[in-house]
Homo-oligomer: A and B are copies of this chain.
Amino acid sequence: MVTAVTNTEPRRRNRRGEGGKLREEIIAAAIALLDEGGDERAVTLRSVARKAGIAAPSIYAHFADQPSIMLAVVQQEMDRLAAALREADEKAGQDPRQRLFAVCNAYLDVARQHPQRYRIMFGGLWTPSVEDTSITDDELESLGAEALTLLADVLGACVGAGIAHDSDDLYGDAVALWLGLHGLAHQRAVVRKMPGPADVAERLITALAHLKSGSLEQG
């Protein structure tokens, strides 16, 4: 990840052929604005330019327009989310229950660590304006497809190990589980204090994965 630029000196121009570096710095600046500022309205083309220490029109060499910046941010963070889920799954070992909770908690952690990013990833204001830009519906759908297949995979492992009740539609259950995680993650990202007990996450996961009761508890 490119560290955010809080500029004072006039910024060294990139070498020839390294102009693409600025693209990453622009995305990093947009993310920095998102993280520190209240909402995505703080991420304007001009504010991004200020944050990156460049002149506003310089952005047009790398992005067609303002929504394109937001789109790039979303795509990058989607990749990071997918990578985090994969990594959590790999580190969890072979036990299906461990894998399930590892992946789900990783999802919730990513959302909790960067609430503002999570907000624009799923249901941010960039979505409508994207109609005019380059992204296709399929591209948009496939962004979360990897995460869903991973969830379905883990659910299948739970069923196979006999710790979850059998299912007629693993993918459907994966979608339902994801929707539950999303509901929790999104609500946490939006309100300052979540109502309800502390173990809501376990409740959601246990119920939506159809885990059989009386199993070991999750650490």
Contacts and interface: CB of A to CB of B under 8 A. Distances in A.
Interface of A: 38-41, 119, 122-123, 125, 127-129, 137, 140-141, 144-145, 148, 165, 169, 171-173, 175-176, 178-184, 186-187, 189-193, 195-197, 199-200, 203-204, 207-208, 210, 213
A180 B182 CA distance: 8
Secondary structure call for the A interface: helix
Contact of A197 (B40, B165, B169, B195): B169
A184 B148 CA distance: 15
A137 B190 contact: no
A80 B75 CA distance: 36
A208 B204 contact: yes
Given A39-B127, A175-B197, 20 more contacts: A38-B129, A122-B186, A122-B190, A123-B123, A123-B190, A137-B193, A169-B197, A172-B199, A172-B200, A175-B196, A176-B180, A179-B183, A180-B183, A180-B208, A181-B183, A182-B183, A183-B183, A183-B184, A183-B186, A207-B207
B141 A195 contact: yes
Contact of A176 (B123, B125, B145, B207): B207
Most buried by B among A119, A181, A192: A192
Given A129-B38, A195-B141, A197-B169, A123 B182 contact: no
Given A192-B137, A195-B141, A200 B187 contact: no
A179 B176 contact: no
Contacts of A204: 176, 179-180, 208
Contacts of A184: 179, 183
B203 A173 contact: yes
A213 B166 CA distance: 12
B127 A123 contact: no
Contacts of A179: 180, 183-184, 187, 200, 204
